[in-house]
Structure 1
C-alpha cells in the first residue's frame, strides 16, 4: 500500500474542498435558484381625500408682554426694601422707600414761601380795594393807582410761582416712594437698604416681568403664511402650548410680522395666553401648535406608504403584471397619523406595507392586510 506524504495529502484535500465550494455556490446563483426566490409580499392602500384641520407645529419661546425696569427718579439713599426678590407683586404695591429729608425740607420751604406771598397778595388786594374808592374821590393820583395795580399783579404772580414750587417739591417727595408700575414677578435686587439710588445708574433697582397675560414668539415657513391669514380673517386663530403641569393651554394669535425674512424664508408670529396660575414662564422654549383652519380635499396616505429617496419622496404603485414602479410625491406634512401629499390622486392604490423591500421593476405578491397582522 502506498502511503501519501503529509504535504501531498494537504494539497489533494484543499482541491477537493475548493471543487465542492464551487459547485455549491454555482447552484445557489443559478437561474433556477433565482426563480425559486418568492416574490415579496405587499399590501395596498387607496389614496383618499378629506377635509383636514390644518395644524402647524413649530418651536418658539414664551415671552413677557410687559417688562419694566424700576429706576430711581432722584438721588437718595434706600431706607427700606418692602418686598423679597422673586416675589410676585401687584400694580401700585410699595417696593422701595428712599431717604426723604431733603425733599421734606424743600416742601416745607415752598409752603412757607407760599404763605409769605399769599400774605403780601392779601395786603395788595386790600390796598387795591381801598385805592379804588380813593381815586373816585380824587384823593390819589393816577400814578399811585397804577402802582397799586402793579403791586397786586406782582404778588399774584408770586403766589402762582410759589404754588408751582410746592407741586415740584411734592413731586420730588413722591419719588421717595417707589411703587410697582405693573403686576408681575420681580427679578434680582440690585440695591439694598443703605444703597444709594441714582437715576443714571446702568442697573435698575429691580426688573418686573408681567406674567398674566403672557406671550409666545415663534416663526413659521412663508408657505404657511397665506393659510394663517385666511384662517384669521374668519375667526381668531388658536395657538397651543403646554404649561408646567403638561396641560395644553390655548391662546390667541395677536401678531403677524409685516414682512417675510428674505434670509430665512420665515415669518414672525406672536400669541397671547392667560396665565393667572403662573404656570407659563417667560423665556421657556416650547413646542407650539397653530390651528390654521381647514385644508379642503387634502390628499392623505398612511405615513409608511411614503418613501424617501435621493430625489425626494415617492410611493410605489403596482401594475397589472404585479410589477412595482415609483411615483414622485411632495410630502406637505404628517398630521393625525396621516401623510398629506401632492402628486397622487384620490382612488389610486399604492403600496402600504412592504415598500421598504421593493425596487422598481420588481415582481410582488399582493396580499390583503388584516387587522393585527403585519407583513
Structure 2
C-alpha cells in the first residue's frame, strides 16, 4: 500500500513540472509581431547604410553604324572541273603535259593514232575530185545539147536529161564535201586539247595505252582562278541576300581554317530552293584567287555583310547581364548604379547593339558582379590599373588608393 502511494505522488510531481515547462515556452513565444514584417519589408537588394563604394570600370555608349555579319563554314569549289576523255577508241601516241601543270584553253595535251582517220580523209577528198571531174563533163554535155537543140538537131528531152545529170553530180559534190568534213572531225578527235584554262590533275595514261571512246579518263582539268566558295544562308537572311545580289553582289570574306590568310570576294549565286530539313539556302561567292591559295575542297570560314544597322547604340557585350527577367546593364548616374533593362538588337564580336539606353550613357563593364541598384560607385583609374598590373607588389606595399570618386 505504501509503495502504490509513493508511485502516485511521483506521478503527480512529474505532471506538475511538465505543466510549468509548457507555460514557460508559451511565455517565451509571446513576442511582438511587428519586427518580422519590418524586416521583410526591407528590400533585399538595398545597400547597407555606410557601405563602401564599389570600384568599377566604365565606358560610354556610342552611336554608330554596325554591319550585320553572317558567318558560316564554306567549302572551296571550282567553277569548272572537266574529266577529259577520248571521243574515239584508239592508242595514245604522245602525252604532252605533266601532272600538276597549268594549261591554257586549247593547249594540245594528247595525240592518238590518227592513221585510219587520215586515210578516210584522203579517200573522201579523192572522191570529191572524181565527182568534180564528172560534173565538169556533164556541164559540157549540157552545153552541147543546148546548142544542138537551138539548131533543132535534138529534142527538148535530150536537153532535160543532160540538165538532170548536171544537178545530180552537183548534189554528189555536196555529199563529198560533207564526207570530208566528217572525216576532219574524226581526225580532230585524235588531238585532245584543254577545254579551258586550269591545273591538270593526275595523268592516268601513257604512250601506247589503249583508250575507249567516252570511257577512259585521261586527266582532270580544274579551274583555280577565279574560284568559288559554297556555303548556306539561313532562311531569315534570304531577302537581304537577294537584295545584295541585285546590287552587284554583297562583299564576302573567306578565311582559311589554318590561318593561311583572308580573301575578299562577291556573292554570285543564291539557290532557288530552301532546304526544308535545315531551313537554309545554298549560296556561292566568287574569289579572284590569283595566288592560288584557295584550293578545291578546303574548308573556310565565311563572313558576309547582309545588312547595316544605321545609328545603333553600341555597348561592350561584357556589360550585359542575363537574368530571369531579361537582359540588363548598370549605368552610372550621379555616382550611383542604376539598373536599366535593354534589348539586344545584334551582337558581333565584342560589341552589341542595344535599345533602352541613349548614346553617351556611362555603362559599367568590369566589376558589375559586385554592383546592385543604388550602390555608390567609383571609377577605376586606367593608369593606376596598368601600373598595378606591371608592379603589383609595389602597389600593395605603398597602399596607394587607385580609385577616384565618380564624377557626378
**Contact 2:328-2:341 at 8 Å conserved across structures:** yes
Matches within 5 A, 1:1-375: 41-201=55-215, 204-230=217-243, 236-242=249-255, 246-292=260-306, 294-308=308-322, 314-316=328-330, 327=341, 329-330=343-344, 332-335=346-349, 337-342=350-355, 344-356=357-369, 364-372=375-383, 373=385
Give TM-score, length-normalised by structure 2: 0.72
Kindly provide the CA deviation profile for residues 189-241 of structure 1, in whole angstroms up to 9, marking residues without a partner as x.
2322222222331x532111111211222223334444445555666532223
**Contact 1:237-1:291 at 8 Å conserved across structures:** yes
Deviates more, 1:342-351 or 1:80-89: 342-351
Kindly provide the CA deviation profile for residues 312-357 of structure 1, in whole angstroms up to 9, marking residues without a partner as x.
755356799967757363362224x422335555455543112345
Find the aligned partners of 2:340 and 2:139 in 1 and give their Cα distance. 105
Give, in angstroms, the shift of residue 159 of structure 1: 1.1
Give, in angstroms, the shift of residue 167 of structure 1: 0.5
Deviates more, 1:189-198 or 1:172-181: 189-198
**Contact 2:96-2:110 at 8 Å conserved across structures:** yes
Give, in angstroms, the shift of residue 85 of structure 1: 1.7
Give, in angstroms, the shift of residue 278 of structure 1: 2.0
SS at match of 1:74: coil
Q: Which residue of 1 aligns with 2:26?
A: none
Give TM-score, length-normalised by structure 1: 0.78
Give, in angstroms, the shift of residue 134 of structure 1: 0.9
Deviates more, 1:35-44 or 1:348-357: 35-44
SS at match of 1:367: strand
Give, in angstroms, the shift of residue 103 of structure 1: 0.5
Find the aligned partners of 1:347 and 1:165 in 2 and give their Cα distance. 85
RMSD between aligned alpha carbons?
3.3
Kindly provide the CA deviation profile for residues 234-275 of structure 1, in whole angstroms up to 9, marking residues without a partner as x.
665322234799443322222233344443233332222223
**Contact 1:213-1:273 at 8 Å conserved across structures:** yes
Which protein shows a greater Rg? 2
Q: CA, structure 1 residues 321+345, in 2 after alignment: closer, same or farther (shift >3 Å)? A: closer
Find the aligned partners of 2:94 and 2:219 in 1 and give their Cα distance. 14
Find the aligned partners of 2:239 and 2:166 in 1 and give their Cα distance. 73
SS at match of 2:301: strand
**Contact 1:245-1:279 at 8 Å conserved across structures:** no
**Contact 1:43-1:368 at 8 Å conserved across structures:** yes
**Contact 1:40-1:363 at 8 Å conserved across structures:** no
Structure 2: where are the runs of 5+ without partners?
A: 1-47, 387-402, 404-408
Give, in angstroms, the shift of residue 145 of structure 1: 2.0
